[in-house]
C-alpha cells in the first residue's frame, strides 16, 4: 500500500484519488476551495430529449465516491505551502484555517489543479461586455445548471426574454497570438453544439449560428457530420467575426463570407462567447516547488520521468482537455502510480507501507 497526496479536487484529482483508493492505497485529497468539484461545479447538464454525452454524470459519481471513501482523507480549504523530502518520504506543509499541518511519509504526489477560463482573466473582457445580450459561455452554463428549478416557465433559462436568434463565437481566449494562446482549447466546438441543442429544445423556432475557425472533430463529434448539424437547425459559418455592435434592440455581427469573398452581417438577439482554457495562476509556483517546467503558454510538464521523481501531473494542468479526456488522463496517471508502486515493492523485497 502506498501513501499518496493528490492536490486538486476537480475532475482529474478526484478520478486519480478514487482509482488509487479502490486499489487499497492511502490517499489524501487536497482542495483549496470549500468543496470538491472544481470548475465542473459551474457546468449544467445538457441532456434534452436524449443524453448527448456531456459526461457530467460521470464526474458527479466520482466526486461522491471521493467524499465517501474511507481510504481518502479529504482536506478542503487547504493551501500547499512547502515540500520537503524525496520520493517515498515526501512531506507536504499545508495551511488550513490559518494553521499549518504536515502530511508526511508520502510515496508520491499528484498535481491536478486544473485551468482558468478566459473570463477569469483580467484581459478576458470584451469591449461590449456591458451589453446583457452578450454573455460568456459560463453564464449560459449557469442558466443550464439551474434550469430544473424553473419548472415550465416560458423563460426556463432565465435570460430575461425569449430570444429569436442566437450566435456563438468560438475561439475567444485561444487560437490567438494576441491572447498568448495559439493553441486550441479543444472543448468549445463540442460544448457550443450541446448548448445550442439545449436552446433549440426550449426555443424550437430559435435561429442558431456558430462562427468557428476550424471544426475540432473529437469525442462526441466523431459520430457527427455537418449534415446532421444542419438537421439540428444549427448554421455554421467558417470565420471569426470582425466586429459586434448594438443596433436598436439587436446585435449586429460583421463577418467575412469567405466563400463569396465579401463582407456580410448577421443580426442576433443573443451572443454567446466561448471561453478558451488558460493555465492556472499557481503554475509558476508549482514549477518552482516541484521542479517542473512551464511550456510557452504556462502549462506544466515534468523535467524528469515522473516515476523517478514521484511527482505526477494529471488533467488540464498539462494542457486543455474536455471532461472525457480529463477522466481518461486521471485514470491513466493512477494506473502508472499503481505500476510504480508494485515495482518499488518488488525491488524492496516486499518492504513498504503496510
Mean pLDDT within 316-340? 94
pLDDT recorded at residue 198: 82
Do 263 and 285 lie in one domain? The reply is no
Asked whether the predicted pLDDT for residue 138 surpasses 60, the reply is: yes
CATH code at position 30: 3.50.50.60
Residues 205 and 219 reside in one and the same domain: yes
Residues in the chain: 354
pLDDT given for residue 354 in this prediction: 37
- pTM recorded for the entire structure: 0.87
**Domain span including residue 136:** 117-277
Asked whether residue 69 falls in the same domain as residue 85, the answer is: yes
Q: What is the pLDDT of residue 293?
A: 97
> Which of residues 259, 277, 295 is at a domain's end?
277
**Per the structure, how many domains does the chain have?**
2
The residue out of 277, 301, 322 marking a domain boundary is: 277
- Same domain for 160 and 269, yes or no, is yes
Q: Is 53 within a domain? A: yes
Note whether 159 and 247 are same-domain residues: yes
Among 304, 256, 64, 266, residue whose Cα is nearest residue 165: 266
In the predicted model, what is the mean pLDDT of residues 74-90? 95
For residues 177 and 230, state if they share a domain.
Answer: yes
Q: Could you report the per-residue pLDDT of 103-121, keeping only the tens digit for each?
A: 999 999 999 999 998 888 7
Please give the mean pLDDT across all residues of the chain: 85
For residue 97, give the C-alpha cell: 484555517
Q: 286-307 pLDDT, tens per residue?
A: 999 999 999 999 999 999 999 9
Confidence band, pLDDT 50/70/90 cuts, at residue 152: low
Residue at a domain's end among 251, 277, 303? 277
Q: What is the pLDDT of residue 334?
A: 97
Assign residue 172 a region: left if phi > 0, alpha if psi is -120 to 50, beta otherwise? Answer: beta
pLDDT one-digit tens code per residue, 43-79: 777 777 777 677 777 788 899 999 999 999 999 999 9
10 shares its domain with 134: no
Do residue 11 and residue 44 come from a single domain?
Answer: yes
The answer to whether position 314 is within a domain reads yes
Amino acid at each position: 500500500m502506498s501513501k499518496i497526496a493528490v492536490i486538486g479536487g476537480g475532475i482529474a484529482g478526484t478520478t486519480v484519488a478514487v482509482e488509487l483508493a479502490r486499489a487499497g492505497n492511502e490517499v489524501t485529497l487536497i482542495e483549496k476551495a470549500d468543496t470538491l468539484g472544481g470548475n465542473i461545479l459551474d457546468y449544467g447538464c445538457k441532456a434534452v430529449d436524449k443524453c448527448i454525452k456531456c459526461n457530467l454524470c460521470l464526474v458527479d459519481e466520482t466526486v461522491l465516491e471521493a467524499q465517501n471513501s474511507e481510504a481518502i482523507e479529504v482536506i478542503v480549504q487547504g493551501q500547499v505551502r512547502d515540500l520537503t523530502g524525496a520520493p517515498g518520504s515526501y512531506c507536504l506543509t499545508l495551511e488550513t484555517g490559518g494553521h499549518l499541518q504536515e502530511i508526511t511519509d508520502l510515496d508520491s504526489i499528484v498535481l491536478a489543479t486544473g485551468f482558468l477560463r478566459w473570463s477569469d482573466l483580467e484581459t478576458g473582457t470584451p469591449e461590449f461586455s456591458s451589453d446583457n445580450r452578450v454573455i460568456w459561455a459560463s453564464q449560459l452554463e449557469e442558466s443550464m445548471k439551474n434550469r430544473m428549478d424553473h419548472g415550465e416557465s416560458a423563460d426556463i433559462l432565465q435570460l430575461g426574454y425569449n430570444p429569436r436568434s442566437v450566435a456563438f463565437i468560438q475561439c475567444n481566449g485561444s487560437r490567438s497570438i494576441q491572447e498568448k494562446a495559439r493553441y486550441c482549447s479543444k472543448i468549445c466546438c463540442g460544448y457550443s453544439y450541446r448548448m445550442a441543442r439545449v436552446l433549440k429544445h426550449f426555443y424550437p423556432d430559435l435561429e442558431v449560428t456558430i462562427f468557428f475557425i476550424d471544426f475540432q472533430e473529437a469525442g462526441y463529434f466523431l459520430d457527427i457530420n455537418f449534415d446532421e448539424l444542419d438537421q439540428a437547425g444549427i448554421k455554421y459559418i467558417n470565420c471569426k467575426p470582425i466586429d459586434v455592435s448594438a443596433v436598436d434592440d439587436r446585435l449586429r455581427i460583421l463577418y467575412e463570407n469567405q466563400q463569396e469573398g465579401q463582407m456580410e452581417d448577421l443580426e442576433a438577439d443573443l451572443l454567446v462567447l466561448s471561453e478558451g482554457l488558460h493555465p492556472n495562476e499557481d503554475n509558476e509556483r508549482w514549477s518552482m516547488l516541484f521542479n517542473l517546467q512551464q511550456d510557452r503558454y504556462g502549462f506544466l510538464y515534468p523535467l524528469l520521468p515522473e516515476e523517478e521523481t514521484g511527482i505526477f501531473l494529471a488533467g488540464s494542468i498539462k494542457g486543455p482537455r474536455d471532461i472525457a479526456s480529463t477522466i481518461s488522463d486521471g485514470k491513466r496517471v493512477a494506473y502508472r502510480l499503481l505500476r510504480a508502486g508494485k515495482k518499488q515493492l518488488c525491488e524492496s523485497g516486499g518492504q513498504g507501507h503496510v
